[in-house]
């Protein structure tokens, strides 16, 4: 093998990329996604920031991102979550995440959040609302059967 180089995919890679993608999904020829072409510049993502307001003040926010996947659903990420100190432990964080999950969940096979190892409070919070703690940095997730 000669020297290899890795670079981001471009639209000129589309046909070869699609051919490899079909090899990856051999056996799925009858599925609708199988005939899709992989066009790097057309891959979509969605980005939404939800805020919580009390009277005229914004007291918390949650930043949610969705990434498309050509096969079926994409994946979701809760990128940031914050509730102002005096508004904590009133259920606001939970409602923010529920709202983000409504946006991400229907189009995602999994929703990820990452915290620092020292952020035990945040980990307890996420576990208390149904997330599973996995020690990373990288892990594989299996979606729940619906
Ligand atoms: C984490 C955070 C968003 C939680 O917001 P919140 O509005 O206080 O959370 P909720 O009131 O919805 O809490 C729901 C449940 O989560 C758990 N929980 C919340 N805060 C917790 C804490 N500090 N320690 C342990 N468990 C906690 C509790 O089980 C709580 O239910 P309970 O109050 O009935 O016991 C908030 O503390 C925050 O902004 N922290 C700083 C930023 C941060 O850590 N963001 C997450 C980074 S990924």
pLDDT the model gives residue 113: 92
Same domain as 75, residue 25: no
- Rounded to a whole number, what is the distance in angstroms from the first to the last CA of the chain? 44
Band of the pLDDT at 70, cuts 50, 70, 90?
Answer: confident
Same domain as 97, residue 30: no
Which residue would you say has higher pLDDT here, 83 or 68? 83
Residue nearest to ligand 1 atom 23, measured at CA: 121
Residue 145 lies in a domain: no
pLDDT the model gives residue 98: 94
According to DSSP, the residues that pair with 75 across neighbouring strands are 67, 110
Whole-model pTM? 0.84
Interval between CA 118 and ligand 1 midpoint (Å): 15
Residue 111 lies in a domain: yes
Residue 107 lies in a domain: yes
pLDDT the model gives residue 129: 93
User: Which residues' Cβ are closer than 6 Å to ligand 1?
Assistant: 81-83, 88-94, 113, 115, 119, 121-122, 124-125, 128
Interval between CA 141 and ligand 1 midpoint (Å): 24
Residue 89 lies in a domain: yes
Interval between CA 96 and ligand 1 midpoint (Å): 11
Same domain as 88, residue 21: no
Same domain as 103, residue 35: no
Look up the domain containing 120 and give its range.
44-135
């Amino acid at each position: 093998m000669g020297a290899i180089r890795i670079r981001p995919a471009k639209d000129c890679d589309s046909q070869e990329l699609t051919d490899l993608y079909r090899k990856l999904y051999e056996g799925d020829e009858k599925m609708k996604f199988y005939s899709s072409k992989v066009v790097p510049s057309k891959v979509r993502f969605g980005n939404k920031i939800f805020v919580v307001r009390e009277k005229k003040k914004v007291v918390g926010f949650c930043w949610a991102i969705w990434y498309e996947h050509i096969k079926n659903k994409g994946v979701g990420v809760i990128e940031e979550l914050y509730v102002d100190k005096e508004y904590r432990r009133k259920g606001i964080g939970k409602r923010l995440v529920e709202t983000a999950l409504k946006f991400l969940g229907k189009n995602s096979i999994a929703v990820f959040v990452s915290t620092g190892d020292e952020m035990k409070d945040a980990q307890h919070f996420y576990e208390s609302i149904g997330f599973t703690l996995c020690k990373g940095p990288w892990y594989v997730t299996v979606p729940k059967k619906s």
